[in-house]
Every structure is written in C-alpha cells, then in structure tokens.
C-alpha cells in the first residue's frame, strides 16, 4: 500500500490555489469546487474542495496536524525557505535528527511541513526529538 492523496476542505479555492501553486504544485484539473494538484507524476496528490460557511478546526481539536512534502536536496529546501520568507509566511524550523523541516500553515490554517531527509540510509531509524 501507499498513500494516494490528501483531500483538504478550504474556504476560498482561489486563495488556496495560489498558495499551493506557490509551493510548487501543478494543476491537474478543476471540476466544480474541486481542484486536483500534483507534482507531475500522479493524477493528483492533493485535492482541494471549496466549502462555504464551514467552521474552521480549532487549534487543539483532533484531526490532521499537518501533511509533509519531501524535497530532494538541501538546495531545494533552502529555496522553499527563501520563498516563505519572501512571502512573509511564518514558519518554524526543526531538526529531527533524521530530517530537517519547516512547519507553517496554509490560508485555512492547515498544517504543512516541508522536509529534507538527512539520513545516510533509508534503514536508519528515528533518533530525533518529538514536538507537538
């Protein structure tokens, strides 16, 4: 098995589209109030669904904490960080021992992580600190 896609409800599809395009997603197709995005290989890895008049999740409620996007190398990692700074998006860095990461939120306060795997081998287990 493998994870196929993430489906996120958003309050404003245009705002969400701009944000996720900024992160490097590409539009696969739009059908009504759904936008399907990918990084070029699969039909979609992210589905955005516009829902009007829906209450946002409270910060301490149960549910998705964040989803993670893995970058290929240090250069790509720092490129994203520079873009976040340029757009004045508040982010929080973390070094988990096996990865470097930055955490931030989309326009509807959904958690997003950009991570760089720093393990020498994919068999290396978690040795970092837990946050959250």
* Third-level CATH fold of 1-51: 2,3-Dihydroxybiphenyl 1,2-Dioxygenase; domain 1 (3.10.180)
- Length of the chain, please? 132
Determine contact, residues 129/93, Cβ cutoff 8 Å.
no
pLDDT, residue 64, reads 83
**Cβ neighbours around 125 below 10 Å, total:** 7
> In a structure prediction context, what are the per-residue pLDDT tens digits for the chain, which is 132 residues long?
888 899 999 999 999 999 999 999 999 999 999 999 998 788 999 999 999 888 777 777 778 889 999 999 999 999 999 999 999 999 999 998 888 999 999 999 999 999 999 987 666 666 555 555
Q: Distance between CA 93 and CA 102 in Å, rounded?
A: 4
- Domain extents for the chain? 1-51, 65-122
Global pTM value: 0.86
Determine contact, residues 93/102, Cβ cutoff 8 Å.
yes
State the CATH class of domain 65-122.
alpha beta
């Amino acid at each position: 098995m493998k994870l196929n896609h993430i489906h996120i409800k958003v309050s404003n599809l245009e705002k969400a589209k701009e944000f996720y395009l900024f992160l490097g997603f590409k539009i696969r197709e739009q059908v009504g109030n759904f936008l399907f995005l990918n990084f070029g290989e699969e039909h979609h890895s992210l589905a955005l669904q516009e829902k009007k008049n829906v209450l946002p999740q409270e910060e301490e409620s149960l549910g998705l904490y964040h989803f993670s996007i893995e970058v290929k190398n240090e250069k790509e990692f720092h490129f994203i960080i520079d873009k976040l700074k340029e757009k004045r998006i508040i982010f929080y860095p973390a070094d988990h021992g096996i990865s470097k990461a930055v955490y931030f939120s989309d326009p509807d306060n959904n958690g997003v992580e950009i991570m760089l795997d720093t393990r020498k081998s994919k068999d290396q287990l978690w040795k970092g600190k837990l946050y959250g």
